[in-house]
């Protein structure tokens, strides 16, 4: 391992924002040196509390996040923000709407905001969001907020990354609430009804309570809060609820079970990426997967047999 990589890791551990930003960029670009740096940083992580903010587009997640940043900073805590944006169709990079909304924190040395593009990754999180969270953890952030894109049920990926999952909804969704009950509603630790000054808030609260009664994990305590984030109403109560949930996890076996689950999901994701990279590297000189795809499209070969043949060719065995 080169001195350059060790020095880079040390700068991040020292809280160097520029070094951290460059490392996150290189991790997003999947550069080998960046991964080696992350290996050094990993033993220094595990201290930040990761809060996932998810929910339907237009629910006000960024405004809620903005309010939480202010609340955490008033307590003297440092805050990292990973804002997952849709990929720009022109540049392939993140559309930086979230950074604009949180602009007032840009000059605060205790806040580090990073917008990242999904680059087509399903589940509301970018492919390297977990790496960005780890970098912010290593650099000493007390809290890391992860705001997802806002694509409905696919956002359940946030639960595999966050310690506390906050689902933001708004009044007047009607049938749309029914549509989310099997998806993001299932992952909530805290439910926030934002824009609670709108008509229909009591109906929304009643619907949410009814759906929580139907959830499969009845042992999971879910608090429902009302906010008007644009006026900072209810934000302090939300911050206190997040703190209470953190303390509950620290004193309950559920906290360790969730940590094991996050580790398993992360390992599986890395294995999936490594194996696919190996497949493309081995089959590249032979045209990649195109010959198999053509055979499947022509119905000359079923996709299951094709997958077995690829595994056998690349890894020297069958999928059995």
Are residues 72 and 169 located together in one domain of the fold?
yes
Residue 320 included in any domain: no
Are residues 29 and 54 located together in one domain of the fold?
no
The confidence score (pLDDT) of residue 105 equals 84
- Asked whether the predicted pLDDT for residue 297 surpasses 80, the reply is yes
Are residues 98 and 224 located together in one domain of the fold?
yes
User: What integer is the mean pLDDT of 214-237?
Assistant: 84
Structural domain count, the chain: 3
Contacts of 23 (CB under 8 A, 6+ apart): 8, 12, 34, 37, 38, 135
The confidence score (pLDDT) of residue 127 equals 66
Average pLDDT, the chain: 83
Are residues 300 and 165 located together in one domain of the fold?
no
The confidence score (pLDDT) of residue 129 equals 87
The confidence score (pLDDT) of residue 155 equals 56
Which one of 251, 279, 307 terminates a domain?
251
What single DSSP character describes residue 137? H
> Rounded to the nearest 5°, which phi and psi values hold at 245?
-65, -40
What single DSSP character describes residue 86? P
- Asked whether the predicted pLDDT for residue 219 surpasses 90, the reply is no
Are residues 237 and 269 located together in one domain of the fold?
no
Domain enclosing residue 206, as ranges: 45-251
CATH of the domain at 192: 3.40.50.300
Are residues 280 and 160 located together in one domain of the fold?
no
User: What integer is the mean pLDDT of 9-13?
Assistant: 97
The whole-model pTM stands at 0.85
237-270 pLDDT per residue, tens: 999 999 999 999 999 998 999 999 999 988 988 8
Are residues 94 and 218 located together in one domain of the fold?
yes
The confidence score (pLDDT) of residue 179 equals 46
The confidence score (pLDDT) of residue 151 equals 52
Contacts of 50 (CB under 8 A, 6+ apart): 133, 137, 143, 144, 146, 161, 162, 163, 164
Spatial CA neighbour of 126 closest among 151, 101, 90? 151
Q: How confident is the model at residue 103 (pLDDT cuts 50, 70, 90)?
A: low
Structure tokens at 204: 């929304």
Are residues 68 and 36 located together in one domain of the fold?
no
* Helix residue ranges, H only, 75-200: 97-101, 129-138, 175-180
Are residues 22 and 91 located together in one domain of the fold?
no
Pairing status of strand 111-117 against strand 223-226: unpaired
């Amino acid at each position: 391992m080169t001195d350059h990589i060790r020095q880079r890791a040390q700068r991040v551990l020292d809280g160097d924002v520029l070094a951290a930003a460059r490392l996150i960029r290189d991790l997003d670009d999947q550069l080998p040196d960046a991964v080696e740096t992350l290996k050094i940083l990993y033993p220094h992580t595990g201290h930040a509390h990761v809060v996932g903010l998810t929910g339907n587009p237009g629910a006000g997640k960024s405004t809620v996040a903005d309010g939480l940043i202010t609340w955490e900073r008033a307590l003297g805590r440092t805050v990292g923000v990973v804002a997952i944006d849709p990929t720009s169709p022109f540049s392939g990079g993140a559309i930086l709407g979230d950074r604009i909304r949180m602009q007032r924190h840009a000059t605060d040395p205790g806040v580090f905001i990073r917008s990242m593009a999904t680059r087509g990754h399903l589940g509301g999180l970018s492919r390297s969001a977990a790496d960005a969270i780890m970098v912010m953890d290593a650099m000493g952030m007390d809290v890391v907020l992860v705001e997802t894109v806002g694509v409905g049920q696919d956002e359940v990926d946030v639960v595999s990354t966050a310690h506390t999952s906050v689902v933001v909804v708004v009044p007047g969704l009607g049938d749309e609430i029914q549509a989310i009950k099997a998806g993001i509603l299932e992952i909530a630790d805290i439910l926030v009804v934002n824009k609670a000054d709108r008509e229909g808030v009591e109906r929304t609260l009643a619907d949410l309570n009814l759906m929580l009664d139907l959830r499969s994990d009845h042992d999971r305590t879910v608090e429902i809060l009302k906010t008007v984030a644009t006026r900072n109403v209810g934000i302090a109560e939300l911050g206190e609820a997040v703190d209470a949930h953190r303390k509950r996890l620290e004193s309950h076996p559920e906290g360790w079970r969730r940590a094991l689950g996050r580790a398993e999901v992360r390992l599986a994701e890395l294995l999936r990426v490594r194996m696919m990279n190996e497949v493309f590297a081995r089959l590249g000189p032979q045209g990649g997967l195109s010959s198999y795809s053509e055979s499947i499209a022509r119905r000359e070969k079923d996709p299951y047999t094709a997958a077995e043949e690829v595994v056998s060719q690349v890894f020297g065995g069958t999928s059995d």
